[in-house]
Each structure stands twice: as C-alpha cells, then as structure tokens.
Amino acid sequence: MSSKSKIIVEISEIPKLKNPHLICGLPGSGYVGKIAVDYLIEELKGIKFANIFSSSFPPQVSIRDDGTIDLMKNTLYYCKNKPDDIILLTGDAQPVTPESEYAMAEEIIGICEKLGVKSIYTLAAFITGTFSKNPKVYGTSTSLQIVNEFSKQGIFTMNTGTVTGMNGLVIGVGKTRGITGVCLLGETSGYVVDAKASKAILEILSKILELKLDMTTLIKRAQDTDQLIKTVEEQMGQRQSTEQLPMPSQDKKLGYIS
C-alpha cells in the first residue's frame, strides 16, 4: 500500500450559489485569518457543506471543547448573501509538505470551479515584530487593476516578498484557472493571537463585498487583544533595556509572509 498523500472531500450538499466569492482563513500567525473567517461563519450564519481530510495534515487528532477527538480537517461553509453569495473556508491545519500544499490548493480550486467561484480572498497576517495601535491592512492580487484600486480602499500595496502557504498557493493556482485572487494581510506583531488585525481586515473586506456585519463581538475581542498587548508591553518594560524581545519565529506552517 502506498503512503503518498491522500485528500478526501466529504460533501454533504452541493449548494447553488450566485456569483460566489471564496474567503479563506486558515490557522496561521496570530490566527488573524482564522479569527476573521470564524467570525464571518458566526455573523453570516454559514452552513457547513464539506469537510476536507488529508494525510498531509499534521499526523495528530484534535481534542475538542467537549473532550472528544477528531481528525484534522478543513471545512467549507456557504452563506446566502446580497449582492453575492459567500463561501467560507477554515480548518484545523495546513498541509505539512510543499507538494501537499500545492495539491490541496488544486483541490480547493477544483471545488471553486464546480461552484462557479469568480474571486478568492485569503486573509493573512503581515508580521512586523512591533505592536501597532491601528493595524494597517496590506494587499496583493493576481489582477493589476485590483492592486491599483487598493489605495482608494485604504489597503497598502507591497512590491516585494512572498505570501507563503495556502494563503498564497490558493490564489496562485486560482490564477492559472482564471480565478481572480486577492490576499489581505492584517498588520500584527506576531507575538499574540490578534483579533485587532482580524477586525482591521474585516472592516475593509465588508466594504468590498458589501457584507452586513455586526462588529460588536469582534470589537470586544479586539479590546481583549489590546489588553493582552498592554500586559506583554508591561512585562517587556520590566526587563532590562538591553534585553531584546526575540523576533516572533515565523514558523513555516503558520507564517504567511516572509
């Protein structure tokens, strides 16, 4: 029996969607993207329609809140919305090898093609190593026209670097199949789980896609992040001034941009 990587997609329902956009937020630095997509699932009342399992996810099972365990998986949700329907993708993990990340990106794009997805938004972190009062949102896209409109939308452009992992590959592979891709990266220190960066991204994304979001709970979580940052800064102040806080390690599996 071969042990090459296997991807299994369990689909419970094939939704009929109007001009759907895919929004991806997988676990990564500061959980910026995952927090944002989890929030969208809650607020837009996302309906789960597919699980994706892969033997290239970390070889482990997750313990859930209720004490039970399950294999690592990614999950797809759809939301009936106006003007366009929304598909949401999040999950427990990203694949652990380069080849399997490409294979997973192709699998996801295959699903997008079947559902008629015309554009993809991946939500990620832009790591700075310092705490920011008002985190900026950076962007890159497969379309020069979209990049040119970023400044009007309050999005900062980049002209060098890479977007690593699934947030980059989903857009890169999508481009080869004619699907427009946008990556929005919320500025974050990299030291803490950062709901402030998630909030900054969602404020911009909700304008672009005309999403009606009640931001109350996320504002609360962003305040928690502020409190957490304050605590970390106080602890840093108590250290000797010669000591440097180490740069947050940009773990390959978690770091979106290097």
Cβ-contact 218, 198 below 8 angstroms: yes
* Cβ–Cβ under 8 Å, residues 173 and 105: yes
**Cα–Cα distance for residue pair 179/172, rounded to 1 Å:** 9
Q: Using alpha carbons only, what angle is made at residue 256 by residues 254 and 258, rounded to the nearest 5 degrees?
A: 110
Footprint of a second copy on 90-129 (CB under 8 A): 95-104, 106-107
Size of the site for a second copy (CB under 8 A): 64
CA–CA distance, 129 with 140 (Å, rounded to integer): 21
| 66: contact with a second copy by CB under 8 A | yes
Q: Based on the shown chain and the rule CB under 8 A, indicate whether residue 19 belongs to the binding site for a second copy.
A: no
Does 12 bind a second copy (CB under 8 A)? Our answer is no
Site for a second copy contains 242 (CB under 8 A): no
Question: Is residue 70 within the footprint of a second copy (CB under 8 A)?
Answer: yes
Q: Are 120 and 169 in contact (CB under 8 A)?
A: no
User: Binding string to a second copy for residues 185 to 224, with x set by CB under 8 A, is what?
Assistant: ----------------------------------------
The Cα-based distances of 7 to 52, 161, 230 in angstroms read 7, 30, 42
Among 181, 186, 190, 248, binds a second copy (CB under 8 A): 181
Quote the CA–CA distance of 94 and 100 in Å, as a whole number. Answer: 9
Spatial neighbors of 84 by CB under 8 A, at least 6 apart, are 18, 19, 20, 21, 209, 210
> Tokens 């946008």 identify what position?
182
Q: How far apart are the first and last CA of the chain?
A: 38
Stretch that binds a second copy, among 41-49, 55-63, 200-208, 222-230 (CB under 8 A): 55-63
Q: Does 74 bind a second copy (CB under 8 A)?
A: no
Which residue's CB is nearer to a second copy, number 223 or number 258?
A: 258
Contact between 5 and a second copy by CB under 8 A: the answer reads yes
Q: Which is nearer to a second copy, 178 or 237 (CB)?
A: 178
Q: Which stretch binds a second copy (CB under 8 A): 25-33, 170-178, 195-203, 228-236?
A: 170-178
List the one residue from 159, 216, 238, 244 that touches a second copy (CB under 8 A).
159
DSSP state of 225: H
Least separation in angstroms between CB 36 and a second copy = 20
* Residues near a second copy, by CB under 8 A: 1-7, 53, 55-72, 95-104, 106-107, 140-144, 147, 150, 157-165, 168-169, 171-173, 175-176, 181, 183, 258
